[in-house]
Structure 1
Amino acid sequence: MKLLSCLILSILVSLLIISCKTEKKEYKPHQPIQRNELEVSIKRGNDIYSNFCISCHLPNGKGVKNIYPPLSDSDYLKNNRDASIKGLKYGLKGEIIVNGTKYNSFMPPMGLGDDEIADVMNYINHSWGNKYGKIVTVEEVRKIKK
């Protein structure tokens, strides 16, 4: 009986030692695919556009000729990235030329945060067929000064 107890104890100790030395594979649950950062920003920007911009620039981004400039197919937006961000951030006053048409309306500052400005710029730059460059970042907006 004593011999059997010793044998069982020795087998258990051996199994314990073996199991401690065996490397266990870490379980990693399935990670969902992360959505593209630009795509997420555009979605947030769509909401901001709907709340702040749509009444003047319209749902299709075409604006109102001679009053509110178009955002869709806009040479001004395409060629004046910093000025466009600045206009959104601080408002816009004075003449600008968009697609050969002069606009001299006043756009007040919307009171948006830098993150919201980046999102709405990304929405505008990638909607209605626009393909106006890389993602606008919060850091880029933050660097734009009056």
Structure 2
Amino acid sequence: MKVFFPIYFCVIFIISSSLFQDTSLKESMERGSEIYADFCVTCHLEKGEGVAHVFPPLAQSDYLMQNREASIRGVKFGQQGEIIVNGITYNSAMADLGLEDEEIADVMNYVLNSWGNSSNKMVTTEEVELITE
């Protein structure tokens, strides 16, 4: 019985932590979808498909999934220079959108978990705060 008791509480803790993150992620993504509609949809389009050779896709984006910090930095400070997304080179400029760190975390959670993307780690405001130019 002594061994069962700590294991029981560990299992309960793990399950409740997972449910809390699921709820937090869902709420963050809902806020992020509104930010996306206000700031991102014009270039990256409604389903994140982008415009070939002009605006990179966010849907099923290898760059986005493999370059988490650089992607957050791009939203936070804007981005210039060449990047390769899904084998296509893009060299457009993205302006600094003037978003708060919490808004950046929310829109990143939305994008990282939409249109065929799936991230197992939620972007937090604290993570965004640590990213500098």
Query: Which one is further off, 124-133 or 65-74?
Result: 124-133
| CA RMSD between the two structures | 1.4
In structure 2, distance between residues paired with 1:132 and 1:38: 11
- Residue 63, structure 1, aligned to residue 44, structure 2: no
In structure 2, distance between residues paired with 1:69 and 1:92: 12
Equivalent residue for 1:80, pick from 67, 84, 89: 67
Aligned length: 114
Could you say which residue in structure 2 is the equivalent of 1:105?
92
In structure 2, distance between residues paired with 1:87 and 1:129: 21
Could you say which residue in structure 1 is the equivalent of 2:76?
89
Residue 36 of structure 1: SS of its match in structure 2? helix
**How many Å apart are 1:129 and its aligned residue?**
1.8
Residue 84 of structure 2: SS of its match in structure 1? strand
TM-score, normalization by structure 2: 0.83
Letter in 1 for 2:106: D
In structure 2, distance between residues paired with 1:129 and 1:37: 20
**How many Å apart are 1:133 and its aligned residue?**
2.9
- Residue 133, structure 1, aligned to residue 133, structure 2: no
Would you identify which runs of 4 or more consecutive aligned residues in structure 1 move more than 3 Å?
none
TM-score, normalization by structure 1: 0.76
- Residue 143, structure 1, aligned to residue 125, structure 2: no
Q: Give a deviation string over 1:64-111, Cα, whole Å, max 9, x none.
A: 000000000000000000000000000000000000100000000000
In structure 2, distance between residues paired with 1:145 and 1:128: 28
Higher CA-based Rg: 1
- Residue 49, structure 1, aligned to residue 36, structure 2: yes
Structure 1: tracts of 5 or more residues without a match: 1-32
**How many Å apart are 1:126 and its aligned residue?**
0.5
In structure 2, distance between residues paired with 1:36 and 1:98: 31
Structure 2: tracts of 5 or more residues without a match: 1-18
Q: Give a deviation string over 1:107-145, Cα, whole Å, max 9, x none.
A: 000000000000000000001121023100000000000
